[in-house]
A and B are shown apart, each in its own frame.
Chain A
Amino acid sequence: MAEAQINHQDGRGGRKLLALPQWLTSEHPLPWLFPATAMLIIFGIYPVLYSLWLSFFKRNPATRVEKFDPSWNWSKLIADDRVWDAVVVTLTYTSVALIIQLVLGMLIALLLDSDRRGFGVLRALMTLPLVVPPAVTGMMFLLMYDGSFGVISHVLYDLGILSPNAPLLANGSTALLSVIIVDVWQWTPFMVLIMLAGLRALPKDPFEAAAIDGATDVQAFFRLTLPMMSKIIALAVLIRGIDLFRIYDYVKVMTDSGPGTATETLTAYTGTVYFKSADFPYASTVAIFTLLTVLVVANVFIKIFRVRF
């Protein structure tokens, strides 16, 4: 077996320490790219291509026979009201949650952007919701929303905002917002972290110059902070937006897409078609459609806001 020698450079002519296979010392990029590429192909590209392939089959649920019919599932998807309802729910969920998390995240980050004593602890405490698994968060809020003994429901009853006759999660007009609140509770700290990292990396000189020129804090924020943070904000929106688009945990745990389809997102609908109807090709079609939608929306966003990685 071909071996390469690694010499210890001790300044006295060298001494053989290790004998390694030649490929391990290769300067060719292939051996180094291979592991990551293989992982990407096995866990990323292959499943997507397989799903795409599967979407070209029509499945008979009675016989379980899958017949090649490339247009069947795609025509079905276009005519499926639940898909388009799910698109609306997904976009609503994503945009509302994103706006709230972005604004709250920035405000909290501004409050925590200080070197004063104790702020480090506060910043650490802010991250606590992030360590709770989303399914557990969903269960916690499910209890707090409960119409009979949920703390949140009872506070809302007391305030006259909610009627005991319309439980939060069983009411079409409040269910989606109730789930969004859970997402905001858990993921706003993520926004705070990104914003804080950006804020603390900003140069101090422009702010000192602005202060000397008599600019107020609000002026400094809108004229300096926001423009200088724009790339960070765009990146945060992109990452969080993609994450929100594929929301599944909270919906599954808290409402199971209901009432009716009031909280049915695209991923939740994919799960329903897959697990309840066992129509694997159609579930793959909806999944591919979701992926395409994310890609289009994300790329439009990247183009408009000139996000650079």
Chain B
Amino acid sequence: MSFKNHDRQKFIIDTANAFTNRKISKRDFLRNMGMAGIGMSAFATGLLGGTRPFKGNMAHAASHGGTPEDVANFLREAGKPFAGTTIRYTSEATPPTVVLNQLKSEFTELTGINVEIEIVPLEQVLAKATQDVQGELGTYDIYYLDQAWTATFSRDTIDPRELYESKPDLAMPGFDFDDFSETLVEGISLYDNKWIGLPFDIPIFTLMYRKDILEKHGIAVPKTYDEFTSAVELITAAEKENGIFGTGLQAKSGHYSLECDWSQAVWGHGGSIFGADKKFSGNDSAGVEGLEWYMRMLKNAPANSVASTWDGQWQMGASGQVAMIQSWAEFFPGWNADDSEVKGLWEMTKPLEGPATLRSRDMAGFGEIPNWGHQGGSSIALSRYSKNQDAAWLFLQWACSKDIMTRCTLAGGFAPMRNSSYVDPRIVERKTRVGSGTTRHLDTVKWTIDNAIASEPDVAIWAGVANNEIPTELGKLVTGQDYNGNAQACMDKIAELVDQKVEEADLL
């Protein structure tokens, strides 16, 4: 028996549900799991966390294939001196990277430049990039840089605008830097007035809900945290017996996903991570209120939330376990795919706003932008230590060109980086579609990017504390290992740890 990825996941979930409900025997359960390849499969790797749940449709990318002629001619000429060169790029399995990995042969055919894309979990990307820059090794020509690492790696990359100016022979015609969404550039790629790379990926928090469940209980689509809380608690109370919870979370202890959930909760309750004095401010009243709200939501989420990262949270939505999720907008296309069990049931709306008032940017520290929609975007950047800089620069331009970025969106359904993509006829055409390849959520995503984008602090220690101290202490709280449910005590401890790091780095 052969399974496509989604079919297999659905099969596993159905089997598990059947076993839980005693509809099949243990023997059948084990046999079905064996048929699904449980044990040493890629699915098992996915359960390790850190794998982004991508439900792409490569056929769409291929069907719109073909680099525009002017760009193709440029690449043929500019790439000649570098034919046979191999460039290396390491990345998380982000939707655009996965699509790019499929499309890269087009670039190789035009230029003769080979591209090796190493796809590993996010924390390994960080470890590899850190090692590379520490030794100035140039093992990787291109880095995938999460927005939380912008400040950490800013000195290790080359500003693409400078390169475009200084190497006219290698400048792609019509590349158009101004076409990148300004708020995205600021939130993802800009540090100290330097573009550390090109915006490449923009997962952003929006509110997604099951319209059938909301309609069943006569609940209006929540707009504020208070409305959301009431709706979540009502649904959990009514549907828990049926295995459906009000919401689902990505609260895995020690993982960056928990930090993302937490920072969204803090901003949503009028707080910020740092104050203007560059001291940690998550332990002020607004921050603690945000965390207490999050703990309340945990009681209305599947128990596995505390063991889940974003892939687990996506699974909750795909398997019909939850009614509402405020999380990464890129979950949406997968839930709406033709072969999805919940196709057409999920809708998307703007992230929750208020009743708290947002903290202003000048009251936050280290370039943090408090807002309603947490963004987890990334850039792809040219390594200062690369030994194949020119070849890598050509690839970078091709990967972030208008056509390729639009085709990546068509294949994956995630949000484009370029303004032109949103009005591209191929994207607009699908705004009414329900099913695979839908772009009906992109207007909401665009609105969130333009009006409600929130960004974590730009500070060199952030990659460390966002992946270690903060999610580890939060993990102790949410799993009951420490703090006895006291959010204030947990936040005070985090404040102590983070302030110490800031001081040690002479950042005050």
Contact = CB atoms under 8 A, between A and B. Distances in A.
B42 to A, nearest CB: 11
B422 interface: no
B238 interface: no
Interface in B9-42: 12-13, 15-16, 19-20, 26, 29-30, 33, 38-40
Interface in B459-486: 459-461, 463-465, 467-468, 472-473, 475-482
B144 to A, nearest CB: 16
Contacts of B468: 272-273, 276-277
Interface string A123-139: 00000000000001001
A195 to B, nearest CB: 30
Nearest to B127: A275
Interface in A260-280: 260-262, 272-280
Given A260-B479, A261-B481, A139 B48 contact: yes
Nearest to B461: A61
A149 B26 CA distance: 11
B111 to A, nearest CB: 34
A146 interface: yes
B319 to A, nearest CB: 8
B29 A279 contact: no
A172 B481 contact: yes
Majority SS at the chain A contact face: loop
A258 B47 contact: no
Interface stretch (B59-67, B251-259, B331-339, B342-350): B251-259
Given A166-B303, A172-B479, A258-B475, A136 B253 contact: no
B254 A61 contact: no
Q: Which of B253, B459, B481 neighbours the largest number of chain A CB atoms within 10 Å of its CB?
A: B253
A143 B303 contact: no
A202 B475 CA distance: 52
Interface string A145-173: 01111010010000000001111011110
Interface stretch (B68-76, B99-107, B498-506): B498-506
Interface string B238-265: 0000000000000011110000000000
B193 interface: no
Interface string A234-265: 00000000000000000001001111111000
B354 interface: no
A110 B307 CA distance: 41
Contacts of A146: 47, 304
Given A172-B481, A275-B126, A276-B123, 7 more contacts: A136-B40, A139-B45, A143-B38, A149-B12, A165-B303, A258-B252, A274-B127
Interface of B: 12-13, 15-16, 19-20, 26, 29-30, 33, 38-40, 44-45, 47-49, 123, 126-127, 130, 134, 152, 252-255, 302-304, 306-307, 459-461, 463-465, 467-468, 472-473, 475-482, 501, 504-507
